[in-house]
């Protein structure tokens, strides 16, 4: 079965931006654009994600400047399960979390969840990717879809 990174490349669910002067709200919108392009999500889907982060804080930004913007399963405007991948050359500022720690991201894995099983598998694979620091570094340096596949080849995740 294709890995999530292979699927991202196959479905063209990726985007590379410079990120200069981009707000986190704008970054979330941009990260979902590749999902909008093939009808995986509605154009306004990202607004639900933004509202959720505004309500709960930047808890979707993890260690190593990785963001996983998402809403609920079967959210309104989410038609297909998928991951909108985005690399920003500049770090995007998400403000501070509940401990006053600054949260920034340059890697985005924006989720749309329509099918439970597929989504579950995506999450499992993402967990492994998010714990794989060398892979995250290589992905942050990616500027083309080929770079994404190359990164995965060089730094594969261990199978559970």
Partner 1 sequence: MAKLDGKRILACCANGAGSSLMMENAIKKVMKKYDIKPAELRHCPVSEGKSSARNYDVVFCAKPFAKTFEGCEQNGTVLLPLKNVMSDKEIEAALKEANLLD
Site of interaction with partner 1 (CB under 8 A) = 52, 55-57, 59-60, 62-63, 68, 70-73, 97-99, 111, 113, 119-120, 123-124, 126-127, 130-131, 160
Q: From the CB of 119, what's the least distance to partner 1, in Å?
A: 7
Q: From the CB of 130, what's the least distance to partner 1, in Å?
A: 6
**Nearest to partner 1 of 39, 100 (CB atom):** 100
Q: CA nearest 27: which of 3, 5, 49, 6? A: 49
**Nearest to partner 1 of 36, 49 (CB atom):** 49
Q: From the CB of 74, what's the least distance to partner 1, in Å?
A: 9
Tokens 């930004």 belong to residue: 61
C-beta neighbour count of 133 within 10 angstroms: 11
Write out the two tokens for 84. 């909108």
**Nearest to partner 1 of 89, 102 (CB atom):** 102
Q: Phi first, then psi: what are they for 126, rounded to 5°?
A: -65, -40
Q: CA nearest 38: which of 80, 93, 98? A: 80
CB 86 within 8 A of CB 104: no
Q: From the CB of 73, what's the least distance to partner 1, in Å?
A: 4
**Nearest to partner 1 of 19, 69 (CB atom):** 69
Q: From the CB of 29, what's the least distance to partner 1, in Å?
A: 18
Instruction: Identify the burial level of 33 via C-beta atoms within 10 angstroms of its C-beta, where 0-12 means exposed, 13-18 middle and 19 or more buried.
Output: middle
Length of the chain equals 160
**Nearest to partner 1 of 34, 71 (CB atom):** 71
């Amino acid at each position: 079965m294709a890995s999530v990174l292979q699927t991202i490349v196959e479905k063209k669910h990726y985007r590379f931006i410079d990120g200069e002067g981009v707000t986190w709200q704008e970054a979330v919108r941009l990260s979902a654009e590749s999902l909008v392009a093939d009808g995986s999500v509605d154009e306004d889907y990202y607004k639900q994600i933004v509202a959720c982060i505004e309500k709960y804080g930047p808890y979707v930004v993890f260690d190593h400047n990785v963001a996983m913007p998402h809403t609920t399963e079967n959210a309104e405007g989410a038609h297909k399960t998928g991951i909108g991948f985005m690399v920003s050359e500049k770090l995007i500022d998400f403000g501070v979390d509940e401990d006053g720690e600054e949260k920034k991201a340059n890697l985005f894995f924006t989720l749309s969840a329509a099918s439970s099983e597929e989504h579950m598998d995506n999450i499992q694979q993402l967990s492994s990717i998010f714990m794989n620091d060398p892979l995250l570094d290589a992905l942050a340096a990616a500027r083309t879809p080929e770079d994404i596949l190359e990164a995965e080849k060089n730094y594969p995740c261990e199978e559970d």
